[in-house]
Structure 1
């Protein structure tokens, strides 16, 4: 899906959401979330070549596949947390959106702990401790 289609879907969904908000706010939120999910799937469909290129670059650099897994999982957490937080904000729940963003940040830190351990081990080995 190209950028024109993404923008078109987003504008149409926004217009529908604004029109529905006057009469049925709950339907407005559903339209926004459904359009967001549709756009997210369209975007993720187009990201496959980039993922393959990153895997190729990591393999050619001699880096472990574990690093690529951490990178892709972190990106997934970022996208999911941002989508959920934006949906909460659209529903008028900004406090809940903040909690979702915090949970996403903590999940990324927990996911990255093995990488931090390897970096710390390498640093200790270089220092000679």
Structure 2
């Protein structure tokens, strides 16, 4: 599926969701979430060439695989947290959506702590500390 298929899926799901929202809001939210999952799966299916290229670039400049792993995990957390927050907002739960976004941000911070530690050690080594 390409961008035209993704846009088509999103538009058809949006039309169904808006139509159903008048009669049964729960089904409209379910359609929206299912369409979001289908689109997300399609995006993830087509992202493997980019992942290979990023991995090649990281190994080419001499960085360890740990940095690439942190990058990919961070991207995954971003995608999942945004998807969940948007789904919560579609369901009318904006407070819950804010909590999901906060959890995603904290997860990214915790995940990137080893990277910050390496940067701090490198900086201390450069300044002679």
Normalising by structure 1, what TM-score?
0.99
Cα deviation, residue 39, structure 1: 0.3
- Deviation by residue 1:89-126 (Cα, 9 ceiling, x = unmatched): 00001111111001000000000000000100111111
How many residue pairs match? The answer is 129
Give the structure 2 partner of residue 124 of structure 1: 124
Give the structure 2 partner of residue 78 of structure 1: 78
How far apart in 1 are the matches of 2:120 and 2:60? 24
Cα deviation, residue 35, structure 1: 0.3
How far apart in 2 are the matches of 1:71 and 1:117? 16
How far apart in 2 are the matches of 1:35 and 1:19? 15
**Structure 2 unaligned residues grouped into runs of 5+:** none
| Alignment pair present for 1:112 and 2:81 | no
| Alignment pair present for 1:2 and 2:13 | no
**Structure 1 unaligned residues grouped into runs of 5+:** none
Cα deviation, residue 127, structure 1: 1.1
How far apart in 2 are the matches of 1:32 and 1:104? 21
Give the structure 2 partner of residue 69 of structure 1: 69
Question: Following superposition of structure 1 onto structure 2, how do residues 1-129 of structure 1 map, counting pairs within 5 Å?
Answer: 1-129=1-129
How far apart in 1 are the matches of 2:58 and 2:120? 21
How far apart in 2 are the matches of 1:89 and 1:112? 28
Runs of 4+ that moved beyond 3 A? none
How far apart in 2 are the matches of 1:125 and 1:61? 20
- Deviation by residue 1:58-91 (Cα, 9 ceiling, x = unmatched): 1111110000000000000000000000000000
How far apart in 1 are the matches of 2:55 and 2:116? 21
